[in-house]
Amino acid sequence: MRITNIAIYPVSIPFRQPFGHALHWRDKADTIILCISCDSGQKGWGEILPRSYLGGGTIDKVLSRDLPELFGSWRGRTFESGDQVVAALREERHTGSYSLAACAGWELAVLDLAGKAFGFAAGDILGSVVGPEVEAGVVIGFDIPTEKLEKHCLLLRLTGRRHIKVKVGRCDDLRRLQIVSATLGPAVPIRVDANGAWSVDEAISQLRQMQRWNVRSVEQPVAAHNLDGMRNVREKTGMTVVADESLCSFLDACSIIQARAADVFNIRIAKCGGFLASLDLVILARDSGLCCQLGTLVGETGILSRASEIFAERVAGFCFLEGKGQNRRLLVEDIVEDPGAHGIYGLGITVAENSLARWAASTSTTLAGVQGVAT
């Protein structure tokens, strides 16, 4: 297998309705789709979803620096086996200086291509399938108005949803939690996510009041860099603290452990650098006595969402996949055909190239052997 070409598609897909939390509102998905080709004509697909507050990556940086450098280091290399490809990916993680989002998307595309070329599933690098499909975790954002929250939660209850996270960080948080708790009932524990919107004092005060409504954990109660503040929240409320914006890289994880800032790592393939980097974080957490939860990013297409499902299938210990299926309902159109029909090799997905062309940000062009999209 010799990599010969890369097609780059900056894509913007509108949402059916906006999604909001304390720090950001989104009404579209701005992502980058990769298609890597090899000398046999096979294609591998990946997705890069950079967020400046999750690892510091941006679309401009990915397009202008990360992808040209990655392609330059891989173009023309010949691989004789899947093991050689995986070894090269491991080496790239330790020698490259690319954004984590770019690493994740590149890894997925290479694994999708190599899996098709050498006849293995991308998830095989994580181990065997460990159990039945995990349940979906639901996220309730600010896009659900308080006056419609009871009806929304009633539907969740009727459909048997048991893993619920509520975005917090605004003036009517307590009222919203009261509605959620009363509607779902005492058997359903509630997780809250402040996205770093609170000060330490605000977090402690709010969480002490929220505990009456079956709130079991808080995700990112204070700013990502404030690890001492996260530890204070843990110690003064006794509540489980989940690190999300604070946790992207392996170095982040080590700092969190050293500071005793969290009980749980929130793993997301797109922000943590791909399968291999995410697996390293899970192993580190478990060796350090911490737990992990698995989630998606708002606005992912079916490429990244399928990657998260694969990770949940191959890595033990996850009770739910947060956001599972939500992006499919959020996007006006996904670019992945029939996400329930999975092939054997690579990521097992089929990209609808007509849909991809429909949402590509601009027209296709070719530059220095790299097929891309002019921006």
Distance CA 262, CA 289 (A): 11
User: Residue 160 has which token pair?
Assistant: 């048997």
Distance CA 258, CA 230 (A): 12
Q: What's the pLDDT tens digit per position in 96-147? A: 789 999 999 999 999 999 999 999 999 999 999 998 889 999 999 999 999 9
The angle formed by the CA atoms of residues 146, 147 and 148, to the nearest 5 degrees, is 90
Give the pLDDT mean for 209-236: 97
Distances (CA, A) of 138 to 135, 153, 159, 244, 327: 10, 10, 12, 16, 11
Q: What's the pLDDT tens digit per position in 34-74? A: 999 999 999 999 999 999 888 888 999 999 999 999 999 99
Distance CA 68, CA 371 (A): 11
| Residue with token string 């097929």 | 371
pTM of the model: 0.94
Among 54, 126, 120, smallest CA distance to 298 is for 54
Distance CA 56, CA 101 (A): 9
Q: What's the pLDDT tens digit per position in 316-373? A: 999 999 999 989 899 999 999 976 667 899 999 999 999 999 999 865 433 345 555 4
CATH 3.30.390.10 in the chain, residue ranges:
3-124+344-373
CB 196 within 8 A of CB 23: yes
The angle formed by the CA atoms of residues 267, 269 and 270, to the nearest 5 degrees, is 120
pLDDT band at 375, cuts 50/70/90? very low
For 106, counting Cβ atoms within 10 Å of its Cβ (0-12 exposed, 13-18 middle, 19+ buried), the class is: buried
CATH 3.20.20.120 in the chain, residue ranges:
126-330
Distance CA 308, CA 330 (A): 17
Quick one: pLDDT at residue 364?
Answer: 47
CB 227 within 8 A of CB 261: yes
Instruction: Share the mean pLDDT of the chain.
Output: 93
Q: Which residues 6+ apart lie within 8 Å of 261 measured at CB?
A: 227, 228, 230, 231, 234, 241, 243, 246, 255
Quick one: pLDDT at residue 340?
Answer: 65
* Sign of the CA dihedral running 311, 313, 319, 325: positive
What is the percent of the chain where pLDDT is above 70? 95
Quick one: pLDDT at residue 139?
Answer: 96
* CATH architecture designation of domain 3-124+344-373: 2-Layer Sandwich (3.30)
For 214, what's the count of Cα atoms within 13 Å in the CB-facing half-sphere? 20
User: Residue 2 has which token pair?
Assistant: 């010799």
Q: Which residues 6+ apart lie within 8 Å of 356 measured at CB?
A: 9, 11, 33, 335
For 367, counting Cβ atoms within 10 Å of its Cβ (0-12 exposed, 13-18 middle, 19+ buried), the class is: exposed
Q: Which residues 6+ apart lie within 8 Å of 184 measured at CB?
A: 153, 156, 157, 164, 190
Quick one: pLDDT at residue 368?
Answer: 42
> Sheet containing 364-367: which strands, arranged edge to edge?
43-48, 25-38, 3-20, 370-373, 364-367
pLDDT over 60 (residue 309): yes
User: Residue 300 has which token pair?
Assistant: 């992912």
Buried b (16+ CB within 10 A) or exposed e, 217-247: bbbbbbbbebbebbbbbbeebebbbbbbbbb
Give the pLDDT mean for 72-91: 94
Q: What's the pLDDT tens digit per position in 21-34? A: 988 899 999 999 99
Distances (CA, A) of 335 to 38, 126, 349, 355: 22, 26, 10, 5
Q: What's the pLDDT tens digit per position in 135-180? A: 999 999 999 999 999 999 999 999 999 999 999 999 999 999 999 9
Domain 126-330 belongs in CATH node 3.10.129.10: no
